[in-house]
Amino acid sequence: MFNLDSIIDVAPYSLKKSEKRALYGDAFFSLTQHHYENCEPYGKILNALSVDPSIQQDVANIPFLPVRIFKEHDLRSVEESQVVKTMTSSGTSGQRPSKIFLDRDTSKNQTKVLVKVTSSFIGKKRLPMLVIDSKVVLKDRKQFSARGAGIVGFSMLGHDVTYALDENMELDVEIVEEFYRKHEGSDILIFGFTFMVWEYFYKKFEELNKKLPLDHGILIHGGGWKKLEEQSVDNATFKSKLGDVCGIERVYNYYGMVEQTGSIFMECEVGYLHSSIFSDVITRREDFSICDFNEAGVIQLLSLLPKSYPGHSILSEDSGIIHGEDDCQCGRLGKYFTVHGRIESAEIRGCSDTFSGQ
């Protein structure tokens, strides 16, 4: 079985294409065999596809599961007694959310990798942290929504974790201003899901005609772009407007989903999302053939982390473009890409389980 500890100390964006391909060939062969042997529904899928897991495949040929399958079936590759945490995705009203079952090792590895990847962008020092959410999201420590999982994971990067929203999802301006005064002049880490940062933080300060001098702030945000697109707010507008209110210049968008928690794709200074050594991305045409660089297709996500459930190769419901590999202007190795939103036939949902306020 592939052991993540063998690469956990390797810099996240340091492997060239040939090195990563060699690593992934062995790792995904091991993961696919493990899930085939320990998850009966996954084994049936591979049998139906006439896939022999004892034959090592090129990574691009490893079977992928459509992300929606985690809404329709409970998929585990460990005994139920080994499950320490269950995570759920968001979903439209009346639809069953995805359920992702984590054992201790998978949960631990998700946190390790999340911290490793994010620290390579913002530094290893733990910073005072302001969360643009309410702590009520964490009320059940054994069953997390995508929001709860994100908050817990990113909180490992901070200290003096303070929640900006009260239990009624209203911005507590006094708490935020007190947090700022306490850490004035120091770097501050701010985390929140994109729509919530916009709707419950930026808009509230704009409405109050208040400015908060957070020029020492570092914002990490992701998910919920669908709702902002409906308001004609793109990435550039988001950064500009937030800067007007708070003076924040260091803003890092990330892409990820609860079905592969920890395997996030961070946005670099040039504006591209990057795959680390722990994850990879492929884009596919309607016939599932692989797209060329700079050709739009459906995004397939690969992750070395899922051991307790067969989520190592997933076909998302998002469209995107891979622009290149190992040659981004930011200097990081690996594939770099952009996400353009949901494919037309996909269920509309926010991967951050964003609060609707309805």
Q: What are the CA-CA distances from residue 144 to residues 48, 82, 140, 262 (Å)?
A: 33, 17, 7, 14
- Non-local (6+) Cβ contacts of 200 within 8 A are 132, 164, 165, 169, 170, 171, 355
Rounded-to-integer distance, Cα 174 and Cα 153, Å: 26
DSSP conformational letter for 78:
S
pLDDT at 100 over 90: yes
Contact 239, 251 (CB under 8 A): yes
Residue range 101-159, pLDDT digits in tens: 999 999 999 999 999 999 999 999 999 999 999 998 887 665 667 788 889 889 999 99
Q: Give the C-alpha separation, 92 to 95, whole Å.
A: 6
The answer to whether 319 and 284 are in contact (CB under 8 A) is: no
Instruction: Identify the H or E element spanning 115.
Output: helix 104-122
User: Span 109-255: which CATH code?
Assistant: 3.40.50
Q: Is 10 helix (H, G, I), strand (E, B) or coil?
A: coil
CA distance 295 to 284: 9
pLDDT value of position 354: 35
Q: 112: closest CA among 10, 192, 22, 194?
A: 10
What CA–CA distance (Å, rounded) separates 128 from 158? 5
Q: Tell me what pLDDT residue 140 has.
A: 63
Instruction: Give 41-86 pLDDT, tens digit per residue.
Output: 999 999 999 999 999 989 999 999 999 999 999 999 999 999 999 9
Q: At what angle do helices 104-122 and 146-155 cross, to 10 degrees?
A: 60
